Structure 1
């Protein structure tokens, strides 16, 4: 691996660690050069999306998760995370669509719970 590649890898790992420590703004700062060096890497955009979501930059999170799905339409976690970003923007019907796809692709309890929350909220709003 080249020296630049090694630096990019280390910056990515540092950003991962910062997201895990709930320091999304620091993670985004560490990730900036990685995004520039690896614009077509779904894993880089996924990590950026997680950091944007963690820092309540919901539109940017949405864009990052959509980019992941352009690069890899089978990424169930990106669909789930996109659904969560849409839910937090009160775009419930769009969120429900993404969460349904995530559950169909990978029926994880976390995905099913999120879909149930959105579906219940839609039902309540429709009954008003």
Structure 2
């Protein structure tokens, strides 16, 4: 996850995200356009489309994960934590959702909870260097604050 900045969608054929009416297309189009915006660094615009998709399909872990990534990229860390937490509560073995939750919690300054989730993610996927690096950072920060 990287901290993306706000941006506008390049496709101006539909309503602007955040407008009063629904953007063109359906849930799948909102999801794929949201992912494209996220990949291009327009996290804030992606949040708008992905939030609409998540409202329409609240049971979709893929959509909610993408929404959490976009929220994180838009520096909406509390919202990102909520998105990832919802996935973790439904599926405790979702290592990426635990990782996202841990990162969001660390950005919010809750390093104890961050370490808990990052440690679980790292234990589930010991080969993932990003998980291990984030865990080391959160543990070091927590230790320095004690």
Kindly state the Cα deviation for residue 44 of structure 1 after the two structures are TM-superposed: 1.0
Deviations 1:38-83 (A, max 9, x none): 0111111111111111111111111000111123221101100100
| Runs of 4+ deviating beyond 3 Å | none
- 2:70 matched to which residue of 1? 51
TM-score by length of 1: 0.89
SS in 1 for 2:26: helix
Extract unaligned runs of 5+ from structure 1.
Answer: 1-5
2:111 & 2:92 partners in 1: Cα distance?
Answer: 21
1:29 & 1:92 partners in 2: Cα distance?
Answer: 28
1:79 aligns with 2:98: yes
- 1:113 matched to which residue of 2? 133
How many aligned positions are there? 121
Deviations 1:7-30 (A, max 9, x none): 211211110111111111111122
Extract unaligned runs of 5+ from structure 2.
Answer: 1-24
Whichever structure has more helix as a proportion of its residues is 1
Kindly state the Cα deviation for residue 32 of structure 1 after the two structures are TM-superposed: 3.0
1:15 aligns with 2:34: yes
1:124 & 1:36 partners in 2: Cα distance?
Answer: 40
TM-score by length of 2: 0.78
- Taking only aligned residues, the RMSD between alpha carbons, in angstroms, comes to 1.2
